[in-house]
Amino acid sequence: MFSAHTVSVVREAEYALMARVPDGALMRRAAAGLAAECVRLLPRVYGSRVVLLVGGGDNGGDALYAGALLAARGAAVRALLAGGSAHEGGVGALRSAGGRVRKFADGEADGAEMFDADLIVDGLVGIGGRGGLREPHAALAVLASNAPVPVVAVDVPSGVDADTGEVVGAAVRADATVTFGTHKPGLFVDPGAERAGRVRLADIGLGPELPGPGLVCPQAVDIASLLPTPGAESDKYRRGVLAVRAGSDPYRGAAVLCVGGALRTGVGMVRFGGGKGVADQVIGRWPEAVADFRDPQSSTDLSPGRVAAAVIGPGRGTHPANADELRALLDSDVPVLVDADGLTLLTGDGGGPLAGLLRERTAHTLLTPHAGELARLLDADRADVEARRLEHAARAADRFRCTVLLKGSTTVVAHPGAPAVANPTGTPLLATAGSGDVLAGSVGALLASGLPAREAAMCGAYLHGRAASLARGGAPISASDLLDALPLAVAELSRSRRV
Ligand SMILES: NC(=O)C1=CN([C@@H]2O[C@H](COP(=O)(O)OP(=O)(O)OC[C@H]3O[C@@H](n4cnc5c(N)ncnc54)[C@H](O)[C@@H]3O)[C@@H](O)[C@H]2O)[C@@H](O)CC1
Ligand SMILES: [K+]
């Protein structure tokens, strides 16, 4: 599990550590870690050409000291200073090692050194960056990103907000980022994550000074250790029965995909409730599901003894009868996942009473909005939600007192009082109709198997993303392809289980 800490937490830990180590020791450690990554990225060190982009702070200092280490090994290192001043000790060290230093003039559009380089090191700004990049930093960031040369970012790609992943204006697009002491949340959350490339942590001895993380990014072994595995004593009831309230006459496919997502993730049984037309379609595709042909709004089968969890919302509709159905579920003690139309029913003043019920629940409750749905739930702007995904997911989790899985280019999970989760899997190919219905069924299955809402959400998001990568070997996929690939993703994780 990768851990990330916000800038203010990192600063506090750094002050505590600096009091115990000699002056300049942390920067030397950081520079050594950075230089090691540069060596990995260069075809060879001796004779290679390295360009350092250097801002006025310690981020630039790291780049200069790492450049000095490379110059001492025979690399031709040139530093372009973005501001009037740069870390004095770093400039001195680079010059003593044979490196060259020049100021990058305001308005200069050339930066020819960059196009001839073997490696560019981005030390413009790190965790001290505030707001969008100013000039000439912004121009340098654009030139570096456009040069056909590998870029390694120092601590964070310049222009990416270390806490949120937000990018305002120009930002460096790095092939690799060497981050110091601990990961920063913005390296795991788009749009920042997409700018960071491969992220490597350089240990500078900060660990003992750090409190618990503000964000975690689970890896395959972490998800594998959470996933329930059926044992010899398992039967369909012990593995979990999931109630699915999805689909309606105009949206029958949503029911088929949601039930399929649950079955292909692994669940004891799916009990589908809905009108006859939809139920026929579900049973036609999934004969292993059990359809409740009673009054679809009936909640008589929703006692915790009969079902272990319920999913409601995909393609279900927003009629008063659907609100009654949601109310009955929220009134029960069964873990509930609310998606799509279910979220619309919770929105605005009209959704006030249902949202009130939601807040009072003690059973596990999970909302799975995309950015547009979350914006409506919070009465916020969709672009703001997309720019600062963590902040908005956390706000919704606090407001509704439940777990929130925000779908998107980085899926994040927020849960009151727990570290946020950034999902590392997924591809833009997941943005396809019905993909969310599959996810709802899949996470519902994990809830039914007994995982708490936060863990079910992080495992389901991980599997869904892996399934998208495994399906059709990277070719465009439909939601049905995801169903075929989900068991492969589960099997892959089982193989990575710690022994
Ligand atoms: N504090 C420590 O103990 C350590 C810090 N380290 C490095 O130090 C960095 C933090 O250094 P600083 O606190 O000096 O901050 P930075 O170097 O990240 O940024 C501050 C500099 O950037 C400029 N700046 C800020 N926002 C800007 C914007 N939007 N456009 C253009 N210029 C902008 C400021 O005027 C200042 O010159 C870390 O990211 C890391 O690279 C490492 O050496 C490890 C140890
Ligand atoms: K940087």
- Separation of 389 CA from ligand 2 center, angstroms? 22
Asked whether this complex has an ipTM greater than 0.95, the answer is yes
Ligand 1: which of 125, 140, 158, 172 to mutate, judged by most atoms within 8 Å of the beta carbon?
125
State yes or no: 192 annotated in a binding site: no
- Is any ligand 1 atom within 6 A of the Cβ of residue 155? yes
pLDDT at residue 111 in the model = 74
Q: Supply the residue whose CA is at minimum distance from atom 19 of ligand 1.
A: 128
140 CA to middle of ligand 2, Å? 12
Say which residues have a Cβ less than 8 Å from residue 257's Cβ, sequence separation at least 6: 314, 434, 437, 438, 441, 479, 480, 483
* Cα gap 269→241, rounded to integer Å: 5
Residues 447 and 440: beta-carbon distance below 8 Å = no
Find, among 2, 422, 3, the residue nearest to 210 by Cα. Answer: 3
409 is in an annotated binding site: yes
pLDDT at 294 (0 to 100): 55
Q: Is 426 left (phi over 0), alpha (psi -120 to 50) or beta?
A: left
| 127 in contact with ligand 1, CB cutoff 6 A | yes
How far from chain centre, in Å, is Cα 32?
Answer: 29
Between the CA of 137 and the centroid of ligand 2 the distance, in Å, is 11
pLDDT digits (tens, 9 = 90+) for 432-490: 889 999 999 999 999 999 999 999 999 999 999 999 999 988 788 999 999 999 999 99
CA 125 to ligand 1: nearest atom: 18
What's residue 69's pLDDT?
Answer: 98
Of all protein residues, whose CA lies closest to atom 37 belonging to ligand 1? 56
| 486, 219, 404, 127 alpha-carbon torsion, rounded to 10° | -140
**Whose C-alpha lies nearest to ligand 1, atom 3?**
14
Is 60 annotated for ligand binding?
Answer: yes
The answer to whether residues 172 and 147 touch, using CB atoms and an 8 Å cutoff, is no
Q: Is 202 in the pocket of ligand 1 (CB under 6 A)?
A: no
Q: Is the CB of 495 under 6 A from ligand 1?
A: no
Please report which ligand is nearest the Cα atom of 162: 1
- The sign of the torsion formed by the CA atoms of 102, 104, 109, 115 equals positive
Cα(240) to centroid(ligand 2), Å: 48
Distance 385 CA to ligand 1 centre (A): 27
Which run of H or E residues covers position 34?
helix 25-41
Would the annotation count 122 as a binding residue?
Answer: yes
Closest atom of ligand 1 to CA, residue 204: 44
Instruction: Give me ligand 2 centre to Cα 394, in Å.
Output: 27
* Ligand 1 atom 21 nearest Cα: 57
Closest approach atom of ligand 1 to CA 15: 3
Helix axes 320-331, 352-360, angle to 10 degrees: 10
For the beta carbon of residue 342, count every other beta carbon within 10 angstroms: 32
CA of 336 to the centre of ligand 2 (A): 43
Q: Is 81 helix (H, G, I), strand (E, B) or coil?
A: strand
Determine whether the annotation assigns residue 425 to a binding site: no
Low-confidence ranges of the chain (pLDDT < 70): 107, 109, 232-235, 293-305, 498-499
pTM: 0.93
Distance CA 314, CA 437 (A): 6
Return the pLDDT at 498: 56
What are the structural domains of the chain? 2-216 (3.40.50.10260), 220-495 (3.40.1190.20)
Per-residue model confidence (pLDDT) at position 304: 62
Quote the CA–CA distance of 57 and 39 in Å, as a whole number. Answer: 24
Measured CA to CA, the distance from residue 351 to residue 330 in angstroms comes to 13
Whether 128 is in the pocket of ligand 1, judged by its Cβ within 6 Å, is: yes
Give 154 Cα–ligand 1 centroid separation in angstroms: 10
**3-state helix vs strand vs coil in the chain, percent to 5:** 45, 15, 40
Residue at 296: amino acid letter = P
Task: Find the ligand nearest to 30 CA.
Answer: 1
Residue of 54, 69, 127, 168 to mutate, ligand 1, most atoms within 8 A of C-beta: 127
User: CA angle, corner 340, sides to 339 and 344, nearest 5?
Assistant: 105
Q: Does residue 134 line the site of ligand 1, with CB under 6 A?
A: yes
pLDDT at 470 (0 to 100) = 93
- Is 158 flagged in the annotation as binding? yes
Protein residue closest via CA to atom 42 of ligand 1:
27
Q: Probe ligand 1: pick from 12, 59, 85, 200, max atoms within 8 Å of CB?
A: 59
Residue 112's pLDDT is 80
Is residue 291 lining ligand 1, measured as CB closer than 6 Å? Answer: no
Question: 344: closest CA among 333, 359, 355, 334?
Answer: 355
pLDDT of 300: 45
* 204 CB near ligand 1 (under 6 Å): yes
